[in-house]
Homo-oligomer: A and B are copies of this chain.
Amino acid sequence: MDLKSYLKKMQELVDESLEKYLPRMDELPSSIHSAMRYSMFAGGKRVRPVLLLAACDAVDGDVRSALPAACAMEMIHTYSLIHDDLPAMDNDDFRRGKPTNHKVFGEATAILAGDALLTEAFILLSNPEFVDGLPPGVLLRVIHEIGLCSGSRGMIGGQVVDMESEGMKDIDLATVLYIHTHKTGALIKASLKCGALIGGADGARLEAVTRYGEAVGLAFQIADDILDIEGTTEQIGKDAGSDQARGKATYPAVMGLADSKRRAAELVDVAVEALAGFGEKADPLREIANYIVKRKS
């Protein structure tokens, strides 16, 4: 299969859908809708929505029925970036080579645009205009999963521990693991699980896809840590080596670069093995797992 064209097709589906789902720029108050759209269309790779759609595909579901959940995931990911970049948090001026939300719209609007994107995710997941046809019981499970992965026991919890351990000496592997599995891993794992749920999977097949998601989520973050060291500023869209400069809790910092690479490769194997019982419809997931550790941006 041709992974590049598969990714492109899925990314286009996501972008078209976001265009349709998000409040229009001219809807009042237009400042907030401009701010929301600015960050939603700032060049994200759509990793989470593509994984969600590929998971739905892998269990033989209808990819189109998973678009609201895929876009909801991207809204939550984007809100978290807007808030992470705020002066009170990471204080970043650039993201993917573009000025961050608060640099363009001001801090107050950036806080509210993040809040609004988080809210919009749940508006979308319960919007009869877009989710009709999905069983209400499945939708409620998806809403619950997406809530859990992004809340204080998921992504936000990871961000809290990340902040609290910044600049600390002697961070142990358990802390890094907590941060990685919560801050980025939780959303990725939930993307896979929700895609499979919407595709109609349950029981063993749901578990297998979720296990894939868990492994890939961690591999993705370790690869990100490695990229921060080995990538150029141009490739990664932010200052290379910025994690080290900030004393961030990363895998290479506690395990070394070689062991981190080995661990990432192992996790890709775990992910691919989880899909052993699946047919060729799971090929995109298999290819994505390999791609994630080899990517350069």
Contact = CB atoms under 8 A, between A and B. Distances in A.
Residue among A32, A139, A151, A159 with max Cβ neighbours from chain B (10 Å):
A151
A116 B105 CA distance: 23
A258 interface: no
Nearest to A136: B136
A277 interface: no
A119 B116 contact: no
A157 B32 contact: yes
A120 B23 contact: no
Interface in A129-178: 136-137, 139-141, 143-144, 147-148, 150-153, 156-157, 159-161, 163-164
A160 B31 contact: yes
A165 to B, nearest CB: 10
A122 interface: yes
A27 interface: yes
A36 B136 CA distance: 30
Contact of A140 (B120, B126, B164): B126
Contact of A152 (B32, B139, B153, B164): B32
Given A23-B152, A88-B107, A144 B128 contact: yes
Residue among A29, A125, A161, A164 with max Cβ neighbours from chain B (10 Å):
A29
15 contacts: A23-B152, A27-B153, A29-B152, A29-B164, A33-B152, A86-B111, A118-B118, A120-B147, A123-B147, A126-B140, A126-B141, A126-B143, A136-B136, A136-B140, A143-B143
Given A28-B161, A83-B111, A143-B143, 10 more contacts: A23-B152, A23-B153, A108-B163, A109-B160, A111-B111, A118-B119, A119-B152, A120-B147, A122-B147, A140-B140
